[in-house]
Every structure is written in structure tokens, then in C-alpha cells.
Amino acid sequence: MTETEPQNSLAITAITIENVKEISYPDVKSIVILFFVFILYSVIVAIPGVILMMSFDVIIHNSLLLKSLFNLLVYLATLLITIKYTIKKSKEKQGYYQTVSFRKIQLWLIPTIIVSTLALFVLLEQSASWIPMPDSIKKFFEGAFRKDIFSIITIVIAAPILEEILCRGIILRGLLKNYPPYKAILISALFFGLIHLDPWQAIPAFFGGLFLGWIYYKTQSVIPGMIIHATINSTATVFLFLPGSRQDLLSLWGLHYYLAACFICVVIFTGACIIIHKKVVVVQKTGD
């Protein structure tokens, strides 16, 4: 073996690794396309759903429970089709199907992320009010959520599982192969905010997505994200059962108590993040 052969082998290996990185799914361009694909699937799935709901309105006299069931089925279909699309695209780009990591986490992490999530919820609870909401939009949101089992399943169970599989398990996992962690987390958080399709949900979803993305990067598992997501959605759902004028912490506690709570939550959230940062070591940054 000549002296140049090892160097040539190293060069070939470096080129191979670089090429693998370049074809990882998704990249920024793929994310933009995926967003519009998600919109298209939402419309396509919603059309037969609306037709069916209109038909059942006549048969069962406007059953709200059935409408909630249809909303759940439409949501499930849209997310599942989108997830299937991303997995198919990953096969085309990478030569193999993207898998989702359900890596086990340490037990101490569960209460830590729940407490930190509740603190984050308090801090983000007023973020939707940064953009004034017209009364017509407010009434639409109030009517969109129904206090029945199918609505609760959609928000508390289906959304945390499917959205974490899509946004962290597939999208962020692929982005971490293409970009530095901070950039990958930021892009995934932007996508997570945008798929909520309105600014009042997108703002808290974006900031929550940053935390969710960081936790995924640290743990390389979608399980913590599902716990965080379910905690946020469950807490928000509880507030929806309160009277309309008392459905936020500021109204419940008053300004002085709310500001004091925010200060305490900053301390709790910061402390929890420091603990997680120190105790959870990233083993594989690419998520493989």
C-alpha cells in the first residue's frame, strides 16, 4: 500500500459523509414544500368531512358530538397522511425510510419537564394577546372547541402524539443532520408554529417549539416532547372549561399576582433547563 492510499481513502470517506449529509431529509426547501403540502392535505381531507357532516346534520339533527368525532377523524387523517408523505420523501432523498426515535428516558426527567412546562405555560399564556383578536375570530375559536370526549382526545392525546412524531421525530431529526442544532431547532419551531395556521396559536407554539426542539436534541427521543405537549394542551383545555371572562391567568389572579407568578416561573424554568442541560448528555447529535 502506497503512502497516498490512506489519504485517498480518507478523502473518499469525507466526501461520502458530506454527500450523506447533503441528501438528508428535510432541508429548508423541503420544509417550505411540506408546509404547503400540509395545507393541501388539510383541504383535501376536509372536503369529504364537511360533506359528511352536512349529511349527518340532516339525519341526527345537528349532533355536536358527531361533529367533534368528524373533526377528530379529519385531524387524524391529515396528520397521518402528512407523516406518510415525509417518510416517503425521506426514502427518496436518503435511500432509506426515516424512523422515529422512542428512546427511553430517565424517570427523574419526567417530573422535571412537567414542572418546567407548567412554568413555561404561565410565561407564554399571554403571548397570544400580543396580536389583537377580532371579536369574530374570538367567537370562532370559542365555538370550535366543544366540551366533549372527542374534542379532548384531539387536543390532549392525538395532537401531542402525531405532532411530535411529525415535527420532532421526523422533521427535527432530519434537520439536525443538515444544520447546527440551534438552526435546526429554530426551523422546526417555525414550522410547528405555522402549521397551527393562525397567529394566536402560532406565537406560543413557536416558543413552545423551541423548548420542545431543545429537549428532543438533548434526549434524542419524542417521548419527552409528547409529555410536554400533552401537559401544555391539557392545561389549556382546563382553562376552556372556565367562564369566558376567566379563561386566562391574568383575569384569574390579577396583574400583581400574575407578575409575581411570572417571576417565579422564570426561576423555575431556568433552573429546570440548567439541570437538564447538565444531566442529559447528547450522545448522537444527528438522532441516528
pLDDT along the chain (288 residues), means of 10: 51 45 82 96 85 62 74 93 96 90 94 97 85 66 72 94 97 96 97 90 94 97 97 90 72 88 97 96 59
Instruction: Supply the range of the domain harboring residue 109.
Output: 4-279
- pLDDT in the model for residue 85: 96
In a domain, 11, yes or no: yes
Q: What angle do CA 102, 107, 112 make, to 5 degrees?
A: 100
Bond before 26 cis per omega within 30 degrees? yes
First to last CA, the chain: 34
In a domain, 162, yes or no: yes
- pLDDT in the model for residue 53: 66
In a domain, 286, yes or no: no
In a domain, 235, yes or no: yes
Phi/psi class of residue 62: alpha, beta or left (left: φ > 0; alpha: ψ in -120 to 50)? Answer: left
The residue among 76, 90, 39 whose CA lies nearest residue 195 is 39
Between the alpha carbon of residue 147 and those of residues 23, 67, 150, 200, 233, the distances in Å are: 45, 12, 9, 21, 14
Q: What is the DSSP string of 11-69?
A: HHHHHHHHHHHHT-S--HHHHHHHHHHHHHHHHHHHHHHHHHHHHHHHHHTS-HHHHHH
In a domain, 117, yes or no: yes
Element (H, E) at 94: helix 64-94
Q: In the predicted model, what is the mean pLDDT of the chain? A: 85
Q: Judge contact between 148 and 68, C-beta under 8 A.
A: yes
In a domain, 31, yes or no: yes
- pLDDT in the model for residue 17: 44
pTM value is 0.86
State the DSSP code for 106: -
In a domain, 288, yes or no: no
Distance CA 153, CA 1 (A): 65
Q: Judge contact between 217 and 181, C-beta under 8 A.
A: yes
- pLDDT in the model for residue 175: 96
- pLDDT in the model for residue 64: 73
- pLDDT in the model for residue 198: 83
In a domain, 285, yes or no: no
- pLDDT in the model for residue 14: 45
Query: Other CB atoms closer than 10 Å to residue 96's CB: what's the count?
Result: 8
- Structural domain tally of the chain? 1
The residue among 91, 82, 96, 101 whose CA lies nearest residue 33 is 82
- pLDDT in the model for residue 148: 84
